Structure 1
Amino acid sequence: MFPKPLPLLTPNTYEYESLPMVKPTGFREYDARWLFEKEINLMGVQALGLGLGHLLHEFGVKPEIVTGHDFRGYSASIKYALITGLLAAGVKVKDIGLALSPMAYFAQFALDVPAVAMVTASHNDNGWTGVKMGAARPLTFGPDEMSRLREIVLNGTSQARPGGEYEFVEGFAQRYIDDLINRPKLKRKLKVIAACGNGTAGAFAPQVLEGIGAEVVPLDTTLDHTFPRYNPNPEDMKMLHAIADAVRESGADVGLGFDGDGDRCGVVDNEGAEIFADKIGVMLARDLSALHPGSTFVVDVKSTGLFVTDPVLQQNGVKADYWKTGHSYIKRRVKELNALAGFEKSGHFFFNAPIGHGYDDGLVTALAVCDMLDRNPDKSMADLYRALPRTWGTPTMSPHCADEVKYDVVARVVKRFETLKAEGGKVGGQAIHDLVTVNGVRVVAEDGTWGLVRASSNKPELVVVIESPISEARTREMFKAVDDILRENPEVGAYNQTF
C-alpha cells in the first residue's frame, strides 16, 4: 500500500521526505496545477502517477501512456516521480523527453498510445508545476475525469499492479517537427518574429517556421527556465509589447509569440499592433470559411461578438458556437460538433482535419497565420486586421481570488446580475439585453457592449473581459460597472493588469 496523501506538510522535515503531500485544490477543472514543494512534493507526484494509472485501468483503457516535460528546473524530476507511480500501477510508459504539450498530444497518434500525461505549468510563473492528462485522443480530461482522479489520489485507494514498463523514445522531437513541415512551402516571402520568452517553444518554433520557408527573427528563444525578461505568456502585455518592439525594429511581416509549453500563440501585426487572439480567430475564420463555406467554429465565452455579427462570416455561412472557456471544454466541443476549428481568447486554437488533429498546438496556429498571409499576397497583417469591424476590447484581466472561494464568489456575481436583470436594473447605464451563464456570467447591454466574469480554471484568480462595438468609453463604463459588483465581495483582490 502507498501512504494516503496529506494536504499539508512542512518542508525540510522527516515527514515531508517520508510522506506524500497533495493539496486538494490542485485538481482543477481540466488539468492539475500546484506550487511545487508548497502544495505538492515528489512523493505526492508519485501518488498522482499511481492514481492516474489506477484510473486508466478503471476506464478500461489500454494501460499505455506518453509522457514528456517542459523546460523548468524541476520538471524532469517531477516527471520521473510521476513515471514511478505509473509504473507501479502497471502502466507502460513512453517518455518523449523535453517536449511541448502538443508534441505529447501528437505522440498519442504517432506512437498509437491512448493516454497522455504532460508535465507542465504552461504559462504559470516559476514555482508552479502541473500535469495535462487525457485518455481518449485528442481529448484531455474534463471535470468528471479530474473529479474521479482527485477522489482516487486523496483517498489513497490506488492499487499497485504488475506489468509496468519504461521506454525512452529517441529522436521524437524531430519526428514532430518533420510532421509539421511536411507540406508545401510558402509562396510569399515572409519575415516572422518567433518569440518564446525563453520557454520550451524556443527549441522548436524557429525550426518549424524556417521549415515552411519563412525568414525567422528569433526573440528570446534561448532556453532559460528563470524566464529573465518576462513569463512566456502571449496574453501578457509585457510579452506582447516586446514582440511589437521587435516587429518595428526588424520590419517583420508578423510577430508570433508562444507560451511556456507551446500550445498557444499570440500575434502582433506588421505595424506593431497587438491583436488579441479572439480577433485572430475571426481573421482565420474569414480565411478558412472562404475555403470551407458553412463551417462551424467553436469559440469561448471570453471571445468577441464578431463571430456572430461579422458580415463576411455571415456571407460564408459560418455557424458560431459559444462555449465554456478552457482547452478541455473547447477541444471536446470541437470534436462533438465536428467543427473546423475552435478558438479561445487565451490563444488556444484547435484545428480539425484537414488542418490539424483536433488538439491545441501553437505552432499549427502559427502556420495557419502564415498560410492566411500567403493566400493574401497583396495585404499585410495590419490590412487584414483593419478589415474587421471595429470593437474596443480589454486584455484578459485577472483579480486575485483564492482557489477555495473563487467559485462561490462567481456564483454570487451571477446571482447579482440575474437579480438585477429580473428587476429591470441597468449595468453601465443601459438595460441588460442578455445574460450568458454557460461559464460564469457574460452580461450584454442593449448596445452590444458586454462584460464577462468567470473563475480561472488553473490559478487562484477570477477572469474579467470587456468589449464594446460602440466606443472605448463604453468599454470603460462596462468595466467600472462589472468591477463595482466584484468589489461587493471582499475576497476579490488586485488585478494582474488592466487597460
Structure 2
Amino acid sequence: MFPKPEPKLSPNTYAYESRPLVKPTGFREYDARWLFEKEINLMGIQALGLGIGTLMHEREVRPDIVVGHDFRGYSASIKMALVSGLMAAGIRVHDIGLALSPMAYFAQFALDVPAVAMVTASHNDNGWTGVKMGIDRPLTFGPDEMGRLKDIVLGAAFKLRVGGEYRFVENFPESYIKDLTDRPKLKRPIKVVAACGNGTAGAFAPRVLEALGAEVIPLDCELDHTFPRYNPNPEDLKMLHALRDKVLETKAEVGLGFDGDGDRCGVVDNEGEEIFADKVGVMLARDISALHPGCTFVVDVKSTGIFAMDPVLRENGAKTEYWKTGHSYMKRRVNELGAIVGFEKSGHYFFNTPIGRGYDDGLVSAIAILDMLDRNPDRTMADLRRALPRTWGSPTMSPHCDDEIKYEVIDRVIDRFKAMREKGETVAGQPISDLITVNGVRVVSEDGTWGLVRASSNKPELVVVVESPVSEARLHEMFKAVDTVLRENPEVGAYNQTI
C-alpha cells in the first residue's frame, strides 16, 4: 500500500524522499494550495492524485480526467506526479499540457471528460503550488468534496486499481482559441493593452484578442516563471499601475490585465483609472441586462453595493443576489439560479448560457468588455465608468493570519460585531444597519458605508474590503473601525497593501 502522508518532514533526508509530505492546511475550501517542498513533496502530490482517483470511484464518476499545468518552473513535474497517482487509482488521464485553468475547464466539454485537475497556484507568489479540481462540469470542488478528499489523503484510504491510462492531447490550445474566436469580429479595431505579468496568459491572450480584430499592445507577455516585475494578479496595485502607465503612454481605449492562470481579468480605462472588477461587473451587468431584460446576476459579498441600488439595473428588471466569495461557491450558485453571470470583486466572472459555459475565463471576460465597447462606439470606457453611481472603494487588502487560526479569528470578529449591534454601539460613528454573515462578516452602517472581513480561501491571510457611497473620508473611517476590531486579535499581522 501507499504510505500514509506525514504533516511535516525535514528536507534532504531519507524520510523526505521516501514518504509523502502533505500539510493538512493545504486543503482549502474549494481547491488545494501548498508551498512546494516545504508543505508538500512529490510523493505528497502522488498521494493527492490517488485521493482524487479514489474519490472519483467513490462518487461513481466515469474514470476520465483532464489535467494541465501553468507556467511555473516546477508545475510540469508536479503534474506528472499527480498523473502517476491518478493512474494508480485506475483513472484515464487526458493531458492537455501547458494551459490556462479555463482551457482545462473547456477541455472537459471539448473532450467529453467529466473531471479536471489543473495544476496551478494562480496568482500566488513563486514557491506555491496547487490544484483546482472538479468532477461535475462546470463545477469545481466545494467544502464537501474537499473535506472528503482531505480525509482520504491524510488517512491513506486509497483504492489502487488497474485500468489507468495516459494520453497526451496534441495542440489542444488551438481548439480553445478556435472556440473563443469562431465568431464575428469587432466592428472596429479597439486599441487594447494586454498585460499578463509574464504568466501563462501571455501565450494566449494577445493572440485571441488580435484574432477578434482588436489592436493589441502586449505588456509583460513573455513567459517568465520568475515573475520579474510583479505577480500576475489583477488585484495587485503594482500590476494595475503598470497597466495604467502603458494605457496612458499608448493612448489605448482600455487596459486588460490577466492573472497567472488566466481565469481573471482586471481593467484600466482610457484615462488610466483603475476600475475594480466589481464595478466593471456593474458596467457589464447594465450592458447584458439591456440585451436580456429580467436576467439574474450573482455577486460575491466583497463586491460593491451598487448592484443592489443601480437605477439602470432596476429599469432593466435585473435581479441580483449577494453570495459567498470563491470560484466554487459562485459557480454553484450561478448554476442553481440559472443566472446569466456571476461577478466577484477579485475578477472571477462566471458567464453562463448564452455567453459562456458557467466557468470563469479571463478571456471570455475580456471579450465581453470589448463587445460592450463595440456596442457603445460613442462612449469610452471612462464614460461608462462615470455613468455609474459614485462610490469610494478599497482594493482587496490582506493582513497575514496563519491558516491554523484564521477561521477562529473570523468567528471572534463576527461575534464582536454581533455584540456591538446588540448593545447599540456604533461602527465608524454610525449605528450598524446590517450584518451579512454568509461569508465572514460584512458590517453596514446607516449611510450605506460597509466593511467586509473574511478568511482567505487560498493563502494564510484575512481579506478586508471597504466601500462608501458617501465620501472618501467615510471610506477611511470604516477601514479604521474594521481594523480596530481586527487588532483585538494578536494573530492578525501586517497588510499586503492598504489605503
Scaled by the length of structure 2, what TM-score is found?
A: 1.00
Q: Give how far 1:354 is off.
A: 1.0
Q: Which residue of 2 aligns with 1:347?
A: 347
Q: Which residue of 2 aligns with 1:444?
A: 444
Secondary structure at the aligned position of 1:280 is classed as helix
Are 1:356 and 2:356 an aligned pair?
Answer: yes
Q: Deviations over 1:188-242 (max 9, x none)?
A: 2200101000000000000100010000000000000000000000000000000
Q: Deviations over 1:352-382 (max 9, x none)?
A: 1111000000000000000000000000000
Secondary structure at the aligned position of 2:46 is classed as helix
Structure 1 segment 64-75 matched on structure 2, within 5 A: 64-75=64-75
Structure 1 segment 327-476 matched on structure 2, within 5 A: 327-476=327-476
Structure 1 segment 193-272 matched on structure 2, within 5 A: 193-272=193-272
CA distance in 1, matches of 2:296, 2:414: 29
Q: Which residue of 2 aligns with 1:493?
A: 493
CA distance in 1, matches of 2:184, 2:286: 22
Secondary structure at the aligned position of 2:218 is classed as strand
Structure 1 segment 292-331 matched on structure 2, within 5 A: 292-331=292-331
Q: Which residue of 1 aligns with 2:148?
A: 148
Q: Give how far 1:66 is off.
A: 0.1
Q: Deviations over 1:25-52 (max 9, x none)?
A: 0000000000000000000000000010
CA distance in 2, matches of 1:257, 1:178: 21
Are 1:167 and 2:178 an aligned pair?
Answer: no
What is the one-letter code of the residue matched to 2:18?
Answer: S
Secondary structure at the aligned position of 2:403 is classed as coil
Q: Which residue of 1 aligns with 2:47?
A: 47
CA distance in 2, matches of 1:13, 1:253: 55
Q: Which residue of 2 aligns with 1:20?
A: 20
What is the one-letter code of the residue matched to 1:471?
Answer: S
What is the one-letter code of the residue matched to 2:219?
Answer: L
CA distance in 2, matches of 1:443, 1:295: 28
CA distance in 2, matches of 1:432, 1:271: 37
Q: Which residue of 1 aligns with 2:61?
A: 61
CA distance in 1, matches of 2:287, 2:333: 21
What is the one-letter code of the residue matched to 1:258?
Answer: F
Q: Deviations over 1:269-310 (max 9, x none)?
A: 001000000000000000000000011000000000000101
CA distance in 2, matches of 1:473, 1:51: 51
Structure 1 segment 106-125 matched on structure 2, within 5 A: 106-125=106-125
Secondary structure at the aligned position of 1:404 is classed as helix
Q: Which residue of 1 aligns with 2:98?
A: 98
Secondary structure at the aligned position of 1:90 is classed as coil
CA distance in 1, matches of 2:290, 2:344: 21
CA distance in 1, matches of 2:383, 2:189: 17
What is the one-letter code of the residue matched to 1:33?
Answer: R
CA distance in 1, matches of 2:325, 2:51: 27
What is the one-letter code of the residue matched to 1:67?
Answer: V
CA distance in 2, matches of 1:281, 1:327: 15
Scaled by the length of structure 1, what TM-score is found?
A: 1.00
Uncovered stretches (5+) of structure 2, i.e. residues with no partner: none
Q: Deviations over 1:59-116 (max 9, x none)?
A: 0000100000000000000000000000000000000000000000000000000000
CA distance in 2, matches of 1:269, 1:177: 26
What is the one-letter code of the residue matched to 1:416?
Answer: R
CA distance in 2, matches of 1:192, 1:12: 48
CA distance in 1, matches of 2:11, 2:347: 36
User: What fraction of aligned residue pairs are identical, expressed as a percent?
Assistant: 77
CA distance in 1, matches of 2:9, 2:156: 17
What is the one-letter code of the residue matched to 1:62?
Answer: R
Secondary structure at the aligned position of 1:194 is classed as strand
Q: Deviations over 1:321-379 (max 9, x none)?
A: 00000010001000000000000000000001111000000000000000000000000
Q: Deviations over 1:424-468 (max 9, x none)?
A: 110000000000000000000000000000000000000000000
CA distance in 2, matches of 1:61, 1:52: 11
CA distance in 2, matches of 1:332, 1:177: 26
CA distance in 2, matches of 1:263, 1:428: 36
CA distance in 1, matches of 2:216, 2:197: 15
Q: Deviations over 1:102-144 (max 9, x none)?
A: 0000000000000000000000000000000000000000000
Q: Deviations over 1:443-497 (max 9, x none)?
A: 0000000000000000000000000000000000000000000000000000000
CA distance in 2, matches of 1:320, 1:88: 45
What is the one-letter code of the residue matched to 1:433?
Answer: S
CA distance in 2, matches of 1:447, 1:495: 27
RMSD (Å), alpha carbons: 0.4
What is the one-letter code of the residue matched to 2:86?
Answer: L
Are 1:275 and 2:280 an aligned pair?
Answer: no
What is the one-letter code of the residue matched to 1:126?
Answer: N
Secondary structure at the aligned position of 1:244 is classed as helix
Q: How many residues align?
A: 499
